[in-house]
Structure 1
Amino acid sequence: MNDFFPLIRHFSIPVSKILIRLPVTPNQVTTASLAIGLWSCWYFLSPTPSDRITGSLLFLLAYILDNCDGEVARHLNMASDFGEKYDTFVDWVVHSCFFAALGFGIALETNNNIFLWLGLAGSIGGTINYLIPRFLNRKNKVSENLVHEESKPKNTKDFMVYVFRELFRADFCFIVLVLTPFNLLWLILIAGAIGAQVYWIMYFMIDDN
């Protein structure tokens, strides 16, 4: 199962094999991921569903490059503490902008501001999740707990939980890509608005335990 997930790895590895032959550094790949990720958010601001298709394809490309930077760094033995922090920073910026932009675009399309507030809730929640470990100077205990609990799926229920977790963690771009043609991205706004708050609440619950 670990050979199949994350799905994004099947796209990033071939790209990384090309990148390691080029005069680029892992941090430059991360910067490219940031630029393309923000470019995709520009399209999600639009109330036009067809623009979101373009945005979702750019979002996928940003995810591929986001995975490539680590692969290139490991292959070239250029991994660094700064590179890891920069990668995390870029992830936060792109995802926070994604939720805010998507909420704005769908609110314009539907003339319903609830989607704007849902997008902002997801964006603010993601920002809290990014800042808490840094201001409290602690490791991300939620992620550590999830990694600790990972194991091979033993039954259908475990398999579904495993797939759901992997899709939302490393393969979120594919959820966006699948929902976009059906104009169902509003579902992500609901999930993001709730999930982002649950994540930082879990952080303190795990810490208290």
Structure 2
Amino acid sequence: MRGINRILTAPFTAFFIRSGLHPNYITLLGGAVGILAFFSFSIGTKAGFIVGAFLFEAFYILDNCDGEVARARGLSSEFGSWMDTLVDCFIHVLAFIGIGIGASRIAENPLMIFVGIAAGMGTFLSTFVAMLQKTRNYGLAIHGMPKAPAGAEKKITAIDRLIDILSVGDFSLVLLLFAIFNKMELLLWLGAIGANLFCIILLAINFKYLTGREE
């Protein structure tokens, strides 16, 4: 599926291809922008949320660029793929925590910090289990978990399709809308509930694999 951000990314990808910058550095640049978004979210003002949301959108664009540049220049690597995934996960977790801090300052309610942490943890755990799902389907091994035999057909399951749908890459635009309409507390609650619910679903589906009982 091709999201709106993929379309917005095109001119930036073309620029980075011409610049010769290695895609791994684009990943790190995106991570730096994501950290700036965290600090902006943490300020605790509507303006801080909106600026943070635009920075988060910039992170998403850079996050798309690194992979596109890597493929265009023949620089794709397993290391780059894992680094991209880890930076992506880290920034999403940080964003939710930053929004929680900011929302707690606006509402003068410390509970929002814990809601932000819950959303961040749900995001982290969902990403981790989704990564394990990929290792099962694509023949990679992590921490001694079972690995698909060489040459085995890749299994595309319903959960893979669900992950693909949820990973279209337009969450940053949704976040921007919530920031503009000053509904960041609602976003936090939706994130905390949705991310953790999705994680539970992934864990249930992958239980045998995670416990090493899959044949």
Q: TM-score, normalised by structure 1?
A: 0.82
Residue aligning to 1:145: 158
1:110-129 alignment runs, 5 A limit: 110-129=107-126
1:73 maps to which residue? 70
Q: What is residue 18 of structure 1 aligned with on the other side? A: 15
Q: Which deviates more from structure 2 when the two are superposed, residues 11-20 or residues 72-81? A: 11-20
Gaps of 5+ in 1: 151-161
1:59 correspondence with 2:56 = yes
1:8 and 1:48 map into 2 onto residues whose CA distance is: 26
- Partners in 2 of 1:192 and 1:55 — Cα distance? 17
Does residue 180 in structure 1 map to residue 157 in structure 2? no
Q: CA, structure 1 residues 115+65, in 2 after alignment: closer, same or farther (shift >3 Å)?
A: same
Counterparts of 2:143 and 2:176, CA distance in 1:
34
Deviation (angstroms), 1:63: 0.3
Q: Using a 3 Å threshold, how does the CA distance of structure 1 residues 24 and 207 change in structure 2: closer, same or farther?
A: same
Q: Secondary structure at the match of 1:78?
A: coil
How many residues in Structure 1 have an aligned counterpart in Structure 2?
Answer: 189
Q: Find out whether 1:89 has 2:72 as its counterpart.
A: no
The residue number in structure 2 matching 1:109 is 106
Structure 1 position 174, deviation (Å): 0.2
Structure 1 equivalent of residue 30 of structure 2: 33
| Structure 1 outlier segments of 4+, above 4 Å | 134-139
- TM-aligned CA distance change 1:14 to 1:138, over 3 Å: farther
Residue segments in structure 2 that go unaligned for 5+ positions in a row: 133-141, 148-155, 209-215
Amino acid at match of 2:103: I
TM-score (norm. length: structure 2): 0.80
Distance, in Å, in 1 between the alignment partners of 2:67 and 2:203 is 29
Alpha carbons of 1:115 and 1:82: their partners in 2 closer, same or farther (altered >3 Å)?
same
Deviation, 1:185, is 1.4
| Separation of aligned partners in 2, 1:105 and 1:147 | 34
> 1:180 and 1:111 mapped to 2: Cα distance?
18
Per the TM alignment, residue 116 of structure 1 is displaced from its structure 2 partner at its CA by 1.3
* 2:200 corresponds to: 201
The percent of aligned pairs where both chains have the same amino acid is: 30
Cα offsets for 1:126-180 (capped at 9, x unmatched): 22234443568479xxx95344469xxxxxxxxxxx9xx55x7410000011111
**TM-aligned CA distance change 1:185 to 1:85, over 3 Å:** same
Q: Write the distance in 2 (CA, Å) between the matches of 1:194 and 1:181.
A: 22
Alpha-carbon distance in 1 for matches of 2:206, 2:159: 14
Q: Distance in 1 between matches of 2:169 and 2:179?
A: 18
SS class of match (2:75): coil
